């Protein structure tokens, strides 16, 4: 009895093994069929979001140390770069060394992923063939990304501020905190988000992003006073009857002199008669124009020449008179 039971059990085990072996090829064929039939979407390895075939995906290894500031921007502390994405593309398509909305005294460097169209504007005017690897000219900039549907999307904006500025305000970038405001060497106890530049003077403005700990300082001088100079011998009606001397010209100011509409070289003393327009411009871009006329002017050499002519003319007249009298006597 015991041997018969053991044979039955052994037979069942062999049958189970046989069934398992037969199922293996069936399962493999089923899996291959499912793999061929699957038509799901691709996934972005960075964000995990669905990606269509016509979307550019940024697969560079730049996301390991990123600090995500919002849904469209992240910061890399190791590279000291800000990465930006947009609605038209998946992944980060632009990197920049400054945060969007910032004011800076330094050059700005921007990189756009290959194959993606972009446009750069300065003070509202599009710059053709602009070099975005190093932007140095003073002005307010906007970078737009052009999608496949030719729809422009404003991505980043920044302002390069010079030693002197004509700006009326400076706004602290979003999510940043103003930590120091100095004017003409005096610290301000008021730390507003918008700094008014209505008063003339030198401003040193410092803010910090609490999420990245990046500290930015912008220094500039507000000067809206037009430069002046002094013109000797010019009367209240803008006329001069002698040479005109230029004095009290502001240091580092640029001066342009037009005589009868044509530019002439700078000279501290103006002697030639004619209509003058002198424009003086300071480093802040302020300018002032002076208009006057030098009437017929005779200098020392001219006076000597005129005197000689008068003497010669008088001598000739006397000679003719004497000669005539002698002829009458005869």
Q: Where are the domains of the chain?
A: 41-160, 168-223, 230-294
Q: What is the mean pLDDT of residues 55-71?
A: 61
Confidence bin at 148 (pLDDT 50/70/90)? low
More confident site: 280 or 150: 280
**DSSP letter for each residue of 60-113:** SS--TTEEEEETTEEEETTTTEEEE--TTSBS--EEESS-TTEEESS-B-EEE-
More confident site: 315 or 64: 315
Give the CA distances from residue 284 to residues 88, 105, 163, 165, in Å, rounded to whole numbers and listed in that order: 41, 15, 8, 6
Share of the chain above pLDDT 90, in %: 58
- Indicate whether 320 pLDDT > 90: no
Where does residue 213 fall: left (phi above 0), alpha (psi -120 to 50 degrees), or beta otherwise?
A: left
Residues linked to residue 180 through DSSP beta bridges, in sequence order: 206
Reported as type and span, the H/E element at residue 158 is strand 152-160
In degrees, to the nearest 5, what angle opens at C-alpha 106 toward C-alphas 80 and 182? 105
pLDDT of residue 317: 85
Task: Specify the range with the lowest mean pLDDT, choosing from 48-52, 107-111, 217-221, 307-311.
Answer: 48-52
Q: What is the pTM of this model?
A: 0.67
Average pLDDT score, the chain: 82
pLDDT of residue 8: 44
Give the CA distances from residue 228 to residues 200, 254, 279, in Å, rounded to whole numbers and listed in that order: 17, 11, 10
3-state SS class at 219: strand
* pLDDT tens-digit readout, 166-212: 899 999 998 899 999 999 999 999 999 999 999 999 999 999 999 99
Reported as type and span, the H/E element at residue 16 is helix 2-37
Q: What is the rounded CA–CA span in Å between residue 50 and residue 35?
A: 19
Q: What is the mean pLDDT of residues 272-296?
A: 94
Confidence bin at 88 (pLDDT 50/70/90)? confident
- Indicate whether 48 pLDDT > 50: no
The HSE-up count of residue 120 (CA atoms within 13 Å, CB side) is: 22
pLDDT of residue 222: 96
Q: What is the mean pLDDT of residues 226-233?
A: 94
Q: Which CATH class is domain 230-294?
A: mainly beta
């Amino acid at each position: 009895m015991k041997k018969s039971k053991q044979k039955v059990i052994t037979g069942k085990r062999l049958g189970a093994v046989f069934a398992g072996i037969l199922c293996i090829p069936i399962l493999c064929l089923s899996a291959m069929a499912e793999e061929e039939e699957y038509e799901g979407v691709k996934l972005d390895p960075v964000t995990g979001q669905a990606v269509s075939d016509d979307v550019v995906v940024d697969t560079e290894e730049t996301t390991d140390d990123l600090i995500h500031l919002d849904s469209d921007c992240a910061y890399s502390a190791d590279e000291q770069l800000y990465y930006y994405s947009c609605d038209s593309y998946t992944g980060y398509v632009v990197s920049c060394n400054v945060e969007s909305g910032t004011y800076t005294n330094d050059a700005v460097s921007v990189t756009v992923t290959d194959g993606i169209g972009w446009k750069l504007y300065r003070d509202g005017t599009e710059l053709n063939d602009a070099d975005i690897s190093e932007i140095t000219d003073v002005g307010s900039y906007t970078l737009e990304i052009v999608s496949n549907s030719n729809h422009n999307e404003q991505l980043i904006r920044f302002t390069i501020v010079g030693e002197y500025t004509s700006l009326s305000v400076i706004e602290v970038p979003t999510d940043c905190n103003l930590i120091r405001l100095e004017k003409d060497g005096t610290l301000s106890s008021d730390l507003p988000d918008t700094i008014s530049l209505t008063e003339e003077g030198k401003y040193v403005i410092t803010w910090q992003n609490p999420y990245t700990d990046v500290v930015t300082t912008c220094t500039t001088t507000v000067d809206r006073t037009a430069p002046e100079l002094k013109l000797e011998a010019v009367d209240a009606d803008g006329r001069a009857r002698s040479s005109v001397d230029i004095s009290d010209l502001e240091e580092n100011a640029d001066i342009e002199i037009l005589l009868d509409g044509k530019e002439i070289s700078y000279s501290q003393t103006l002697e030639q008669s004619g209509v003058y327009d002198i424009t003086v411009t300071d480093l802040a871009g302020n300018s002032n124009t002076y208009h006057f006329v030098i009437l017929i002017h005779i200098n020392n050499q001219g006076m000597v020449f005129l005197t000689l002519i008068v003497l010669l003319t008088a001598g000739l007249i006397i000679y003719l008179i004497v000669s005539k009298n002698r002829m009458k006597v005869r």
